[in-house]
Amino acid sequence: MPLVKQLEVKYCLDGYHLFRSVEHNGLHGLLQTSVDTGMKYGKINVDEFLTGRKVILCKACQMAKRVKNAVIERVKQPIDDGMISMSIDLYTDDYRKKAFLD
């Protein structure tokens, strides 16, 4: 497992990711899916398996549109408490208390 630890450090430093990013459930889910896919189909080339930033951007826009439409539909219906709230996902640095988008 020392290689995994070295690659986690490389991931954080090369990609300018927070050290906390290796604890993120999204990354763990992506890695677990990769392992499961490899178990099902055998050794795979990650470059053929993963998509690029343009595909991810398009998918994120599609997902955001679905959520927006669901919120619009929900707002059209009577709301029990009369309120709705939304927030973006922010991360606050534990040391400097500086906020980042995550």
Amino acid identity of 90? L
Q: What is the pLDDT of residue 100?
A: 66
Q: Which of 4-8, 49-53, 71-75, 91-95 has the lowest mean pLDDT?
A: 91-95
pTM to 2 decimal places: 0.56
| DSSP-derived pairing of the beta strands 90-92 and 99-101 | antiparallel
Q: Mark out the alpha helices in 1-102 (DSSP H runs).
A: 2-14, 25-41, 46-49, 53-76
Smallest Cα–Cα separation from 30: which of 19, 40, 38, 41?
Answer: 38
Q: What is the pLDDT of residue 86?
A: 67
